[in-house]
Amino acid sequence: FIGTQARSYDPKVNSFILLDYYLYSTDDKYLEAHLEHNFSGFILNKFPLIRKLKLQEIVGVNYLSTPALKNYNELYFGLKYLNFRGIYGVSFNNKQQIQSGFRFAIGF
């Protein structure tokens, strides 16, 4: 699975935004799931001045379960403008917060 420790992240849907590179790596079986929704301005377009910026809202969740790591979750939300993204994410393990932070990406 794809993790990151930098302030930038890979905007692919199959990557984690706060997961440590090697801390949870495994050769054993694992379950991984990713879901992201782009609201395409549905919320921010309600505000006339913000509508002109053409910002898009992004919300997502990532899930990972390994024999050593049970129920790792990431929740994130952010904004997208053209190919630039800025998101804020929070990670949990068994309902206990592990870390949170901002991440930025440029997609091509």
Say what the pLDDT of residue 38 is.
93
Which residues does 35 contact at the CB level (< 8 Å), separation at least 6?
60, 61, 62
Q: What pTM was computed for the model?
A: 0.82
Q: How many CB atoms lie within 10 A of CB 93?
A: 15
Q: Does 27 score more than 80 pLDDT?
A: yes
pLDDT higher at 76 or 10: 76
Q: Where are the domains of the chain?
A: 31-106
Pairwise CA distance, residues 103 & 48, whole Å: 27
E-only strand ranges, 1-108: 31-38, 56-65, 72-81, 84-93, 96-106
For residues 53-74, average pLDDT: 91
Tokens of 68: 């050593």
CA 65 distance to own-chain centroid: 17
